[in-house]
């Protein structure tokens, strides 16, 4: 059994998001502490030449509707609980859906596991720390 200790500083910083379906880098998300909870904002997008270079979230249904994806706060309300961060949400700007979220770091402090879920259905991505 491996044991680890996760502190708030471990989460704060910039992370490269990796698409769990394609394995390609999608964006850089900066996680920060804001009003006592952790939030994540897209600060850079990796787009192919044929894709819209400055897309907006047409599919979002909350205050992010028609907002530019670059600069969008996609992670909201994450709270530290022992060795993970949870009770927050994550928005997928590709489809506008909002999922419950939890995050944790295992053995490698440069890999953040990000899980978005609804009931028993979930997807987990690995985000890589940007140094």
User: How far is CA 88 from each of CA 60, 91, 99, 101, 104, rounded to the nearest angstrom?
Assistant: 17, 10, 9, 5, 13
For the chain, domains (ranges, CATH) are: 8-46+53-129 (2.40.128.520)
- Indicate if the pLDDT at residue 50 is higher than 70: yes
The residue-averaged pLDDT of 117-123 equals: 91
Name the pLDDT band for 9 (thresholds 50, 70, 90).
low
pLDDT number for residue 7 = 60
pTM of the predicted model as reported, rounded to 2 decimal places: 0.91
Nearest of 52, 119, 46, 43 to residue 74 by alpha carbon: 43
- Kind plus residue range of the DSSP H or E element containing 9: helix 8-11
The residue-averaged pLDDT of 29-54 equals: 96
CA 37 to centroid of chain Cα atoms: 14
């Amino acid at each position: 059994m491996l044991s680890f200790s996760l502190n708030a500083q471990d989460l704060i910083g910039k992370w490269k998001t990796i698409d769990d379906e394609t394995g390609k880098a999608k964006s850089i998300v900066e996680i920060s502490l804001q009003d006592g909870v952790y939030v994540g904002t897209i600060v850079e997008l990796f787009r192919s030449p044929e894709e819209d270079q400055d897309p907006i979230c047409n599919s979002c249904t909350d205050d992010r509707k028609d907002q530019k994806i670059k600069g969008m706060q996609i992670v909201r309300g994450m709270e530290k609980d022992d060795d993970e961060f949870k009770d927050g949400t994550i928005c997928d700007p590709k489809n506008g859906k909002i999922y419950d979220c939890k995050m944790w770091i295992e053995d490698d402090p440069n890999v953040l596991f990000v899980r978005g879920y609804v009931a028993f259905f979930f997807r987990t991505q690995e985000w890589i720390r940007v140094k």
